[in-house]
Amino acid sequence: MNPDTLDLISKNIEKNHDKYVAMGSPGEVAEDRV
């Protein structure tokens, strides 16, 4: 994987994490492991 791809993935994880935290969903923990 090139660094750009990794950067994009980590940005996606952060975005999803924020979304789950905002919803108060227990799914955020599973998402962090992906």
Per the confidence metrics, is the pTM higher than 0.75? no
The confidence score (pLDDT) of residue 23 equals 66
For residue 8, give Cα distances in angstroms to 1, 13, 22, 30: 11, 9, 21, 19
Tokens standing for 7?
């950067």
Taking the domains of the chain in order of start, what are their residue ranges? Answer: 3-33
- pLDDT in tens for each of the 34 residues of the chain? 688 898 998 888 888 777 766 666 555 555 555 5
Q: How far apart are CA 24 and CA 9, in angstroms?
A: 22
